[in-house]
Structure 1
Amino acid sequence: MPTLVDLCEKYFGHKDFYDVLRIPKNANEKQIRKAYHRLSLLVHPDRVEEQKKAEATEKFKVLGKVHSILSDKEKKMVYDETGSYDEEDEKAERDWNEYWRLLFKKITIEDINRYKKQYQGSEEELSDLKRAYTDGKGDMDFILESVPFSNTEEEPRLRSLLQGMIDSGEVPAFRAFTHETPRKRERRKRKWEKEAQEAEKMKVEMNMDDGEEGLRAIIQAKHAQRTVDADAFFDHLAAKYSGGGGSAKKKGTRQQPARKQAKK
Structure 2
Amino acid sequence: MALLDRCQVLFKTVNLYEVLGIKKEATEAEIRRSYYKVSLKVHPDRAPDDPQATEKFQVLGKLYAVLSDKEQRAVYDEQGVVDEECDVLSKDRCWDDYWRLLFPKITVQDILDFEKQYKGSDEERNDLLQLYTQHQGDMDAILASVLCCSQDDEPRLEDIIRAAIKDGEVEEFPAFAQESVKKKRARRKRADRERKEAEEMQKEMGLGQEDDSLMMMIKKKHSSREQNFNSFLSDLEAKYSKKGGKSSKRGKK
* TM-score normalised by L of structure 1: 0.67
Q: 5+ unaligned residues in a row in structure 1: which ranges?
A: 251-264
Contact 1:33 1:67 in 2 (8 A): no
Following superposition, the deviation at residue 176 of structure 1 comes to 0.5
Contact 1:138 1:177 in 2 (8 A): yes
1:1-39 Cα distance to aligned partner (Å, 9 max, x none): x94323323xxxx541122222537966x7644431244
C-alpha separation in 2, matches of 1:174 and 1:192: 24
Task: Give the match for residue 245 of structure 1.
Answer: 248
TM-aligned CA distance change 1:129 to 1:82, over 3 Å: closer
Following superposition, the deviation at residue 97 of structure 1 comes to 5.9
TM-aligned CA distance change 1:216 to 1:243, over 3 Å: same
Following superposition, the deviation at residue 126 of structure 1 comes to 0.8
Following superposition, the deviation at residue 249 of structure 1 comes to 2.8
C-alpha separation in 2, matches of 1:185 and 1:59: 44
C-alpha separation in 1, matches of 2:211 and 2:98: 31
2:56 is equivalent to residue 62 of structure 1: yes
C-alpha separation in 1, matches of 2:198 and 2:110: 18
C-alpha separation in 1, matches of 2:175 and 2:24: 34
- SS at 1:62's partner residue? helix
Percentage of identical aligned residues:
31
Q: 5+ unaligned residues in a row in structure 2: which ranges?
A: 222-228
C-alpha separation in 1, matches of 2:62 and 2:242: 19
Task: Give the match for residue 180 of structure 1.
Answer: 179
1:74-96 Cα distance to aligned partner (Å, 9 max, x none): xx57x83563687xxx9xxx997
User: Which one of the candidate residues 213, 217, 238 is aligned to 1:216?
Assistant: 213
Task: Give the match for residue 164 of structure 1.
Answer: 163
Task: Give the match for residue 146 of structure 1.
Answer: 145
C-alpha separation in 2, matches of 1:61 and 1:112: 32
C-alpha separation in 2, matches of 1:197 and 1:46: 33
* TM-score normalised by L of structure 2: 0.70
Contact 1:18 1:25 in 2 (8 A): no
C-alpha separation in 2, matches of 1:127 and 1:163: 14
Matches within 5 A, 1:17-28: 17-21=16-20, 22=22, 24=24
Task: Give the match for residue 224 of structure 2.
Answer: none
